[in-house]
Amino acid sequence: MHEAPRDLEVAVIGAGPHALSAAIHLERIGVKAQLFGDAMGFWRTMPKGMTLRSNWSASNIAEPTGALSLEAYQADTGDSFSSPVPLDRFIDYGMWVKERAAVDVDPRMVRRLEHDGAGFALELEDGTRVTAQRVIVAAGIQDFEWIPGSFGDLPRERVSHTGHHHDMSVFRGQRLAVVGGGQSGLGSAALAREAGAEVEVFIRSRDVIWLRPNSPKNLLGPVGPIVYAPTDVGPLWYSRLVATPDVFRWLPRRAQDRIAYRSIRPACSNQIRIRLDSVPLHLGCSVEDLRLTANGVALTLDDGAVHQFDRVIFGTGYRFDVARYPFLSPELLAGLRRREGYPVLKRGLESSIPGLHFMGAAAAYSFGPITRFISGSWYTGRALSRAVGARQLADVR
């Protein structure tokens, strides 16, 4: 008995850098991928005026050089900018990659994904159902904003996450507390101050890790490119290792976790540091309590000090848990092997459900911290296409 044909060979849930990379690399082996989602949509929700933390090389989508690189984009469009890459220009670059590579993006969101035995069924937001032989989940991290403790239960008009704010001018004239010592928190603090807010920043660590204005590899002369990978993830002694996920994944788990933490710990670009000269940074303190008051929020620190603000925003990042993707059906989740909230993946980023792959941050447990970053799309796109190509060859034989 023959199986019913699938509507799509490959469906990709998501339309950001990793999803675009999937489509580009699959197209090169003759496999057509259909993307679903808002192209570069998550990036457009980030605070307006932000710059990327990654250096120039690591901000390229799908591959570090070539016809789809930042250099090619500038040559084609006449646009001119340098590192750190402005967020709005990166979004424009991503849309250019989509058009230049002729990636087919359906703007409808996927409401539900089911495993139907022979393949997958996707229900779109308008009720349309399509089937696919293979599915790539490259849906990003927007569903995983993290605010510590029960603070996230407080009214959003008083307590929120940096991911909730695109235009920081809403804080003009207000007393604003920012909690967090990474690019998101400190960048938001700088933008809010420049928009006219009175800002203070509270950071648990006793130090802020300020990234050098130049990539470290540029400071080491001819040795730099040897010891530092162009992916720009991880310090000197880990950079090349995390840039090679097929090696990294075979390390003992404890070593992987230690190296991953060292490679993705909170840090901020030097350009933001310059813009924060007049902003008080409270180091080595934790927020113990937040209470609504008649005029705003009372913020209590671990030393008992109480500070009054109109608003509090948390730049405390994202905590991945694949079960929080709203489109994954309970039945599919039940068959998905997971560890610490992440899907456990094998070669080709394939999960325990045959034909279901995960890219981006979802692959970090199995393939290391590089997959969380734009430059990780170089590896994930190639790894996916190699696995799909090998499977096709096996089927022909």
Instruction: Parse the chain into domains and list their residue ranges.
Output: 8-144+318-396, 151-209+274-311, 214-264
3-state secondary structure of 115: strand
3-state secondary structure of 330: helix
For 291-337, write each residue's pLDDT tens digit. Answer: 999 989 999 999 999 999 999 999 999 999 999 999 999 999 999 99
- For the chain, the straight-line distance linking the first and the last C-alpha, in angstroms and rounded, comes to 20
Contacts of 216 (CB under 8 A, 6+ apart): 224, 228, 236
Q: Specify the pLDDT at position 104.
A: 96
Contacts of 209 (CB under 8 A, 6+ apart): 181, 265, 266, 267, 268
CA distance 292 to 298: 6
CA distance 238 to 263: 8
pLDDT at 393 over 70: no
Do 8-144+318-396 and 151-209+274-311 agree at the fold level? yes
Taking Cα atoms as reference points, which of 6, 13, 8, 10 lies closest to residue 36?
A: 13
Q: Specify the pLDDT at position 270.
A: 84
Fold of 8-144+318-396: FAD/NAD(P)-binding domain (3.50.50)
CA distance 31 to 36: 16
Q: Which of 159-173, 199-213, 331-345 has the lowest mean pLDDT?
A: 199-213
For 29-74, write each residue's pLDDT tens digit. Answer: 999 999 999 999 999 999 999 999 888 999 999 999 999 999 999 9
Q: Residue 396: pLDDT band by 50, 70, 90 thresholds?
A: very low
Q: Specify the pLDDT at position 394.
A: 57
For 237-293, write each residue's pLDDT tens digit. Answer: 799 999 999 999 999 999 999 999 999 888 888 889 989 988 999 999 999 999 999
Q: Residue 2: pLDDT band by 50, 70, 90 thresholds?
A: very low
For 160-175, write each residue's pLDDT tens digit. Answer: 999 999 999 999 999 9
Longest Cα–Cα distance in the chain: 73
CA distances in angstroms from 171 to 151, 197, 285, 307, listed in the order given: 19, 6, 24, 17
- Mean pLDDT over all residues of the chain? 92
Q: Specify the pLDDT at position 83.
A: 86
Structure pTM?
Answer: 0.92
Fold of 151-209+274-311: FAD/NAD(P)-binding domain (3.50.50)
Q: Specify the pLDDT at position 1.
A: 35
Q: Which amino acid is at 32?
A: K
Q: Specify the pLDDT at position 224.
A: 67
